[in-house]
Structure 1
Amino acid sequence: MPAQWTGELVGKMHNAGVTGKELAAQLGKNPKYISQVLNGHYEPKKAEREFNAALSAIIEGRQEKED
């Protein structure tokens, strides 16, 4: 079963219009790996912090482009 943080992250991704491919590119990881982590198949120790930081960076980058 996926960790609670993954559901929260997917919700934030959806609200911001961020795809798994975009998150994977920001992290420098394979999109399949991202999917496996978000679906609870892998539970890397630092994934929560890394994934949230990457999502924040994508969102901030988009906001800067709008300004």
Structure 2
Amino acid sequence: NWSRLPKQRTKPLVLAGGLNADNVGAAIAEVRPYAVDVSSGVEQEPGVKSAAKIESFIAAVRRADQRV
């Protein structure tokens, strides 16, 4: 629940865990993190990354970054 994070922070926050191309935009808008981290959210199967999912994730992050 991202709304539970404090809005005012004294240190940069890296948001990780459960992120994918479908939810990273909302996460960035809500939390305004310094950075995001993704792993399983761009896998086609456990341990195997999908180039298409990585590209979609990066595009979603860039769109969200332009809005904040």
State the TM-score, normalizing by the size of structure 1: 0.34
Q: Which has the higher contact order (CA 8 A, sep 6+)?
A: 1
The structure where strand makes up a greater share of residues is 2
Which protein is richer in helix relative to its size?
1
- Say which one has the larger Rg: 2
User: Given the two structures, how large is their TM-score scaled by the length of structure 2?
Assistant: 0.34
